[in-house]
Structure 1
Amino acid sequence: MYEKIMNFVRQKPEAYAPCTSKFWDDPHISKQMLKAHLEPEIDSASRKHSFIKKSAEWIAELKEPGESKLLDLGCGPGLYTDLFDASGFTVTGIDISQRSIEYAKSQAALKRKRIEYRCQNYLEIDYLEAFDVVTLIYCDYGVLCPADRERLLKKIMRALKPGGLFILDGFTEKFWQDVPVKQEISYHESGFWSPDAYVCLSRNAHYSETKNTLEQSIIITADECRCFNIWNQIFTKTSMNQELIGAGFDTITFFDDVCGKPLSEDSKTICAVAGKAQAFKR
């Protein structure tokens, strides 16, 4: 185990190096994540619930819900999908976390809502002109490496109907200050990462050449050592526009956030509303 720890700490990993263990479906961590999602006043696993409500209302204004079908990628426990359904969209939510999807399904059943939920990696979706709106919210897009972003955009283009909208957001350079370069060590009798006692070696790093941030947690218990890497891509209007245009989107409008705040140079996020004008070319 000592050699394993040494290998983790010795040098910065390459950009988008994966975690060594499951994150979303770890029995303990996924329970902590769900708890964080449901905290209404904290920007954590989800944004503050007041922001989510405002965001869902703005998105409903972009596309008349009516008979519109909406696909929410990375839907988590259904905080957005519940509001989209209430606005009149026919909603499908996809998330890789079994615990979050089970919670979302239970809430939909309790409220007698006809929201379709699927536990799936959204990189594996395979729809053809099925949705009027696709959302990927809370900067999930930048968690993906460039190759996976390209792959996902192609699938989203294929999934959208002509005239459909793709709504996403990402972090800007203003976000860098929220991930200060540091290395810390802490001991916990139990906590977010494990129900048992553990040591956490945490490290934040900036990757100037690729415009990435890394939040790394190396978790050492009496029995094992695991490494969790949380990556984010830093976007500019130009870089996000290039990726969307490259995937075939025609009309792209930018905002500061997914509540429709006008674009400025002061926001830690950037939101794009990308339109698909043409039918998917088979």
Structure 2
Amino acid sequence: MSYERFAYLYDELMQDAPYHQWAELVLKKLEDYGVKGRTLLDLACGTGELSLRFAREGFQVTGVDLSTDMLSVARSKAEDAGFHLPFFEQNMAELEGLGQFDVIGVFCDSLNYLQTAEEVEKTFSKVYQHLKEDGLFIFDVHSIYKITQVFMNQTFTLNEDRLAYIWNSFPGEAPNSVEHELSFFVLDESSSKYNRFDEIHFQRTFSVEQYSRWLEHAGFKLLEVCADFEDASPSADSERIFFIAKRID
């Protein structure tokens, strides 16, 4: 899934996202598992918000995303902040040629945009190849509960002076998948009229057990599974599941 006009609204829509919690979790897990290296690959980096936060923490950050528009925003933000970060347009399931890193992350449930089991397995294999020995792979996904009980058949809205949206979520064709139909209304200040555009996004998730098997099959040692930014195992109503795995040779 590649974002189009949505990319230029993304930061405005996500201004309340708990990015600091993602960054804090990564820093804590690197300390917990004794990872000293500072090279970090931010897969599905979007507009680079987390890439910049890690750069400010002293990491050598590389960002990858499938969306040209998202990467355009990320590059501009990095330059404005005084960082010269390398950003590459690649599919995470076809990752190649970027070298090896001490930590690789797929944050903000971006892995849920992969539609098939094969894509997830290919992504794990590619991440393994790009990770240094004993390096950490950290990612988060929506839980099955979040997809089926929170999103499914729900409507979400926003109504502000400059921006409004209607967000409808419907069951997808695959098990534990959802289709998001989004209609945006953005104020054109020159005409005082609202321009509408529509996008469709798809997300799919799998069980904790399935992700764990795929990680182990790719060669990782699964170190930890936790939920909702807390050091606690997932419960029946956890919404965001985190996996921390290590490359072993």
* Shorter-chain TM-score above 0.5: yes
Instruction: State the secondary structure of the residue aligned to 2:9.
Output: helix
For 1:221, the equivalent position in structure 2 comes to none
For 1:53, the equivalent position in structure 2 comes to 20
What is the alpha-carbon distance in structure 2 between the residues aligned to residue 277 and residue 262 of structure 1?
A: 24
For 2:178, the equivalent position in structure 1 comes to 213
What is the alpha-carbon distance in structure 1 between the residues aligned to residue 144 and residue 119 of structure 2?
A: 22
For 2:189, the equivalent position in structure 1 comes to none
Cα pair distance change 1:150/1:192, threshold 3 Å = farther
What is the alpha-carbon distance in structure 2 between the residues aligned to residue 203 and residue 161 of structure 1?
A: 39
For 1:84, the equivalent position in structure 2 comes to 54
Q: Deviations over 1:196-225 (max 9, x none)?
A: xxxx99661166x7332333569xxxxxxx
Cα pair distance change 1:66/1:109, threshold 3 Å = farther
Does 1:238 find its partner at 2:203? no
> 1:273 Cα deviation (Å)?
0.5
Instruction: State the secondary structure of the residue aligned to 2:220.
Output: coil
Instruction: State the secondary structure of the residue aligned to 1:75.
Output: coil
> 1:143 Cα deviation (Å)?
1.7
Select the structure of larger CA radius of gyration.
Answer: 1
Does 1:248 find its partner at 2:215? no
> 1:264 Cα deviation (Å)?
3.1
Where does the alignment leave 5 or more consecutive residues of structure 2 unmatched? 156-162, 184-197
For 2:151, the equivalent position in structure 1 comes to 179
> 1:133 Cα deviation (Å)?
0.6
Aligned-residue CA RMSD (Å): 3.1
Correspondence 1:183-202 to 2 at 5 A: none
For 1:160, the equivalent position in structure 2 comes to 131
Cα pair distance change 1:127/1:236, threshold 3 Å = same
For 1:104, the equivalent position in structure 2 comes to 74
> 1:192 Cα deviation (Å)?
8.0
Cα pair distance change 1:104/1:181, threshold 3 Å = closer
Instruction: Give the TM-score normalised by structure 2.
Output: 0.77
Where does the alignment leave 5 or more consecutive residues of structure 1 unmatched? 1-18, 43-47, 184-190, 194-199, 219-226
Cα pair distance change 1:230/1:67, threshold 3 Å = same
Does 1:271 find its partner at 2:242? yes
What is the alpha-carbon distance in structure 1 between the residues aligned to residue 9 and residue 169 of structure 2?
A: 24
41, 44, 47: which one pairs with 1:71? 41
What is the alpha-carbon distance in structure 1 between the residues aligned to residue 142 and residue 167 of structure 2?
A: 25
Cα pair distance change 1:61/1:114, threshold 3 Å = farther
Q: How many residues align?
A: 224
> 1:168 Cα deviation (Å)?
0.8
Cα pair distance change 1:111/1:128, threshold 3 Å = closer
What is the alpha-carbon distance in structure 2 between the residues aligned to residue 148 and residue 272 of structure 1?
A: 17
Q: Deviations over 1:136-169 (max 9, x none)?
A: 1121212212111111111100000000111111
> 1:228 Cα deviation (Å)?
5.8
What is the alpha-carbon distance in structure 1 between the residues aligned to residue 9 and residue 199 of structure 2?
A: 19
- The answer as to whether partners of 1:67 and 1:90 remain within 8 angstroms in 2 is no
Correspondence 1:5-16 to 2 at 5 A: none
- The answer as to whether partners of 1:73 and 1:135 remain within 8 angstroms in 2 is yes
Q: Deviations over 1:27-75 (max 9, x none)?
A: xx2xx33313334544xxxxx1xx1112112202222586421000111
What is the alpha-carbon distance in structure 2 between the residues aligned to residue 127 and residue 201 of structure 1?
A: 37
